[in-house]
Structure formats: structure tokens, C-alpha cells
Amino acid sequence: MNIHLNLLTLATGLALLGEARGAIVYFPGEDIPLPNTYAGVSVDLETGNWSTALDGLAGGDANFFLGGARVSNDADASAVGASWQPVRTGTGNTDAVVQVTGGMTIDLSTASYSTGFGASGQINSHFGGASGFTAGTPGYLGYSLIIDDPSNPGNPLTVYGWALVTLENNDGVGVLHEWAFEDTGASILVGAVPEPASLTLVGSLGVLLLLRRRR
């Protein structure tokens, strides 16, 4: 009885700690192909759903087409506003998307975002120069994303995240490898993933169960 109470207390305490801190939402190992077509692939970064339909995806955020030679936030044909804004070289809706570096802080003050629908400028505009992407080589995108506020359902919240992508020119197929965002609106470091709280909980429960057996 005492052991069960300790287990419940430990689990509850860790759960409350996780809620207080907020959370990094992480989609590892997705490896979504970025087709060499004008429709490309539209991705919902909150759910991991994606579609190659020409009309995009209901609830979609990011659209990568021509293998990643073009990057757009017009991923939902019925949306009245863009939910996803990649870090760009400037604030224009056709400015090139920028490769950010691992460990960089992503938030409102550290990067440039546009405010409306738009795609990165001319074909290959985000390769080389100030943008920094190399075709066929994995690199990081930073972004802002409008989600439903977990602490206040029904209300929008702007959060910040990163995505690891391999972008290609119009002769190849790219890959959206994985992505993450911080769901409280706080800044996030490029490449940051959730703390292994669940592993800590499992390990702690295992120790307590072992002690129970020994008694």
C-alpha cells in the first residue's frame, strides 16, 4: 500500500513538473520526401500529417515543392492566413529562406519572418550566399508557428521551432527529416529535443518495484 502511494506521488509530481515547464514537441525520424513536383508536399507540423495533393492539406503549415527548391507557407488552400513563417533573409514574403545553425536561439527577436503568404523567391534562391543551404546536404530551418494554445484551448499561440531538411534543386527529391517546437511560445535552441522525463519516470518506478520485491 505504501509503495503504491509512493509510485502515484512520484508519477503525479513528475507530470505536474512537466506541465509547469511547458514542453518541446518533437517529431523524430519522419523523413518525409519532398517531391520534385509543383504540388510538392504539404505538412501539418502539429500532427505530422502530410499530403501531396495539389490543393495542399487542411490544417497544413509548410509546403515544400520542386524537391525543396521552393519553400512556401501556403499549404492550406482554405486558410485565411499563414500559420507558418520560416526564418528568411528579410521580412518580404518572397525573401529567401535561411539555413540556421545548431544551437542558435529561435524566437521573435533573433530572426526575420514575413507576415503573409509567400514562397522563397526564385528557384534555388536559398542555396548559397546569405541563405547558406547546399543542395543535397541536410541543414536547419528556423520557424514560427501558430498553434492552438495548450494552456488556453481555442486561442492561437505563436511558438518557435526548428526543422532538419535536405533541400534539392529541381533535379532531385529532398527530405523533411524531423522537426520540433516549444509549445509555450518561449524561445527554442536549434536542434533541442525534449528532456527524457518519461525515461526518468520509468527508471524511478523500476527502482521502487525492485525495492518492493526485496521486501
25-41, pLDDT tens digit by residue? Answer: 999 999 999 999 999 99
Given this model, what pLDDT does residue 211 score?
39
What is the domain count for the chain? 2
Q: How confident is the model at residue 134 (pLDDT cuts 50, 70, 90)?
A: very high
| Residue span of the structural domain in which 165 resides | 24-34+82-193
Q: Are residues 128 and 150 in the same domain?
A: yes
How confident is the model over 145-154, as pLDDT tens digits? 999 998 899 9
Contact between 188 and 181 (Cβ < 8 Å): yes
Q: Are residues 29 and 12 in the same domain?
A: no
Q: Are residues 14 and 87 in the same domain?
A: no
Q: Are residues 169 and 207 in the same domain?
A: no
Q: Are residues 15 and 112 in the same domain?
A: no
23 CB burial (10 A radius; 0-12, 13-18, 19+):
middle
Q: Are residues 28 and 134 in the same domain?
A: yes
Given this model, what pLDDT does residue 132 score?
86
Q: How many whole angstroms separate alpha carbon 181 and alpha carbon 102?
A: 14
Q: Are residues 202 and 105 in the same domain?
A: no
Q: How many whole angstroms separate alpha carbon 163 and alpha carbon 28?
A: 10
Q: Are residues 29 and 133 in the same domain?
A: yes
Q: Are residues 183 and 155 in the same domain?
A: yes
Residue 203 has pLDDT above 60, yes or no: no
Q: Are residues 17 and 103 in the same domain?
A: no
* Residue 188: strand pairing partners: 106
How confident is the model over 36-68, as pLDDT tens digits? 999 999 999 999 999 999 999 999 999 999 999
